[in-house]
Structure 1
């Protein structure tokens, strides 16, 4: 087998393609021949060595991927060679409340990730994926897809007729547009250019705000809606105060990303007097993944894939994400599989 690995440190200079013995599954385990992987912003944080002391080299990167079962160990039932599955982002979160050691179960750091031709996983740590998806589309589900699902379908789930504001046009945001529309919600999206605005509108967004042309985008959203029911806050410190401004009395802001910073100054009366709910989402459980997969299959949804890089050009996929050069999920093809 081959695997991309951060060797003695992080950064592009330490990302190397290595030959390794192909692993064999033990009791309760299965062997996946990986078909595709997908990048998330978190993978850039790992590349830069900024994910904390718990994430250390040597490390196979990337959490999102899909593979085909080629072998199973003793005691594995309900899954067989030929099945196509995604490893769960959190290998230690089956369902319900997250475990106390949640962070220790993340793929792509601290656990080895999916950027390899073959990987062994516990049979309990994988989830079947919808048949209609290509390998690249399926690879986007474990983190980006499930994060969008968790933000929309928990505490409480989005209802038909609600208005959802989604900040940005990354992988989570694009999947959230598809899921929210399938649930019957009206969708507003903020973006950074006319080109992206046109693309997001083509996906079904009801209203798109170009932040470049409308610096006070929060005022425009507020004027158009009177306050949205739910905000998917993907920006972080720089956008959170405006996200709160956009939310109706009794609405909620779901904290997902912090790409613009870690510390925000908030005007507390805006939260307290309007009884807003601020909650966070960190991907989700395997049970949530299975529910999302059923919904995607029922509605025939297809995640947006912007570009697929060959396995041998994996570093270029990281550079494309760093440059924000692609609209849609950036994926890496690993093996010969389903492309349509």
Structure 2
């Protein structure tokens, strides 16, 4: 097998290509031949060495990937050779309340991830992916896809006619747009440019706001909703955007806290939260059962994740640079098939 690993520390200079023996599955495990992997902002945080003490080197990065079953353990009954599956982001969270050691079960840190040609995973942590998706599209689902699904499903599902505000145009945001529209919601998106505003409108956004031109975009959201505000905010920004999200939400609205791209420490004007009975609900991807529910929705509506670029396996570091630059529109992926792009 071939794989990429942060060998002697974090930082892109420590991401090296390596070769090793292909692992063999135990009785309850499955050996996958990976075909594609996808990057998330979280993978940059890991690369920067900022994901906490539990994430150490050596480490195979990336949590999102897809592959085919090439060998099963003696006790595995639910999968067969040739099945196309993805490992769940949390390898030990099937459903219900999250386990107390939740962070210990994450792929791509602290567990080895999917930037490899082959990998062994527990059979009960694998999920079949929709047949109509390409390998690159399917590879975006375990973290980015399930996060978008959870953001629209918790603490209660989005209902037809509700207004959803989605911050940004990353992989989570773009899939959330399509899922929210499929659920019958009205969708508002904040973007960083007029070009991206046009792109999200093509995906179905009812209103796109260039936050660089309209820094107090909460006012625009309230005007668009007749002074009421939105039912739900998918808050992917963090410290610099949370207060605007609070202002944009209606009385009784919900703010789904997902990201902290703009910082970890936010200041809130608590009277706006208290007097308007707002709910702040955090989402950390989701369990395997949420992944299965996402795939049923995708298959029903034939929704496709947006893929910007697919890099060959030997150019994996370039994929990290591309995501870090922030210049693309959609998911950055890597083919795990030697000298072949998805």
* Shared fold, TM over 0.5: yes
Kindly report which structure 2 residues correspond to 1:1-340, keeping only aligned pairs within 5 A, or say none.
1-225=1-225, 226-335=228-337
Q: C-alpha separation between the residues in 1 aligned to 2:99 and 2:80? A: 28
Q: C-alpha separation between the residues in 2 aligned to 1:80 and 1:244? A: 48
CA contact 2:311–2:341 (8 Å) conserved in 1: no
Q: Note the residue ranges of structure 1 that are not aligned, 5 or more in a row.
A: none
Q: C-alpha separation between the residues in 2 aligned to 1:88 and 1:200? A: 28
Classify the secondary structure of the residue corresponding to 1:138: helix
**Pairwise CA distance, 1:337:** 12
1:210-229 deviation line (CA, Å, top 9, x unaligned): 11221221111111112000
Q: C-alpha separation between the residues in 2 aligned to 1:325 and 1:31? A: 35
CA contact 2:251–2:276 (8 Å) conserved in 1: yes
- For the aligned residue pairs, the C-alpha RMSD in angstroms reads 1.2
Per mean C-alpha deviation after superposition, the further-off stretch among 32-41 and 328-337 is 328-337
Per mean C-alpha deviation after superposition, the further-off stretch among 166-175 and 219-228 is 219-228
Structure 1: which 4+ aligned runs deviate by more than 3 Å? 336-340
Q: C-alpha separation between the residues in 2 aligned to 1:104 and 1:224? A: 43
The TM-score with structure 2 as length reference comes to 0.98
**Pairwise CA distance, 1:180:** 0.3
CA contact 1:240–1:264 (8 Å) conserved in 2: yes
Q: C-alpha separation between the residues in 1 aligned to 2:338 and 2:153? A: 34
Q: C-alpha separation between the residues in 1 aligned to 2:50 and 2:146? A: 23
Q: Note the residue ranges of structure 2 that are not aligned, 5 or more in a row.
A: none
Q: C-alpha separation between the residues in 1 aligned to 2:260 and 2:45? A: 11
**Pairwise CA distance, 1:339:** 7.9
**Pairwise CA distance, 1:233:** 0.3
Residues 337 and 72 (structure 1), Cα distance of their counterparts in 2 relative to 1, 3 Å cut: farther
Task: Count the aligned residue pairs.
Answer: 340
Q: C-alpha separation between the residues in 1 aligned to 2:192 and 2:223? A: 20
Classify the secondary structure of the residue corresponding to 2:172: helix
Q: C-alpha separation between the residues in 2 aligned to 1:242 and 1:181? A: 23
The TM-score with structure 1 as length reference comes to 0.98
Classify the secondary structure of the residue corresponding to 2:290: helix
**Pairwise CA distance, 1:154:** 2.1
Per mean C-alpha deviation after superposition, the further-off stretch among 207-216 and 124-133 is 207-216
**Pairwise CA distance, 1:335:** 1.8
